Structure 1
Amino acid sequence: MTFVLVLVVSLLSGLGQVAQKVAVERWRGHPVNLWRKLTSPWLMLGLASLGAGLLLWLLVLQQLEVGIAYPMLSLNFVWITLAAHRLFREHVDGRHWVGVALIMTGIVLLSTQR
């Protein structure tokens, strides 16, 4: 159950980052005043996702040692790399994918520790 919570926290954090990126991409090249930026639905989604992730993170910290829980948030690198590649059509080279694979390997090693 704890790993599921870590996974949900990671997904919410990743969603928050992607929503922020979408928000700023929509502002690019358009004169948008500060109020419209602050009330952007994408920015609101990003903040809500990050806020919900923070609250769930507190539950995770009640159940896991921070030295084990925090490195598992490296799953964010995986989600963001996939989103950058798929949603934003950013180039991700082979070295980056190897890094993602190493991160995933580390997460698996940590999740089996106890």
Structure 2
Amino acid sequence: MITLLLLLAACLLTCLGQVSQKCAVEGWRGQPGGWRMKLRTPWLWSALMCLGLGLLVWLLVLQRLEVGIAYPMLSLNFVLITLVARFVFHEAVDRRHWAGVVLIITGVVLLGVEA
């Protein structure tokens, strides 16, 4: 049970890091200034923190699961990021993309049943 929670935490932290990256670059649009100003962006630091913590949690996951099972479970990130892209950033997601999401979820469920 703890392994599943760690795996979900790694996925969520990675996704939060990626969403923070998107928010950081969206905030940079139309802003004059060089890298100094961009390096002060809170979203950038949030991304670094989430991705760093996600890495540490991922190392804990790898101590408990075989990499052949654990790594495909990270494909849940594609599902979560697709949902965020659609419902938070209002990006278009076509039927083919949704079909891919369904296939990913199916694969994760099949792997989870075996693990």
Percent of aligned pairs with the same amino acid: 61
Structure 1 residues without counterparts, runs of 5 or longer:
none
> What is the aligned partner in structure 2 of residue 81 from structure 1?
82
Q: Which runs of 4+ in 1 moved over 3 A?
A: none
Q: Distance in 1 between matches of 2:70 and 2:103?
A: 17
Q: TM-score, normalised by structure 2?
A: 0.96
> What is the aligned partner in structure 1 of residue 11 from structure 2?
10
**TM-fit CA distance, 1:33:** 2.1
Q: Distance in 1 between matches of 2:60 and 2:89?
A: 32
Where do 1:20-35 residues align within 5 Å? 20-35=21-36
**TM-fit CA distance, 1:32:** 3.0
Q: Distance in 1 between matches of 2:12 and 2:76?
A: 8
What is the count of residue pairs matched by the alignment? 114
**RMSD between aligned residues:** 0.8
> What is the aligned partner in structure 2 of residue 102 from structure 1?
103
**TM-fit CA distance, 1:3:** 1.3
Q: Distance in 1 between matches of 2:19 and 2:80?
A: 9
**TM-fit CA distance, 1:36:** 1.7
Q: Distance in 1 between matches of 2:75 and 2:33?
A: 34
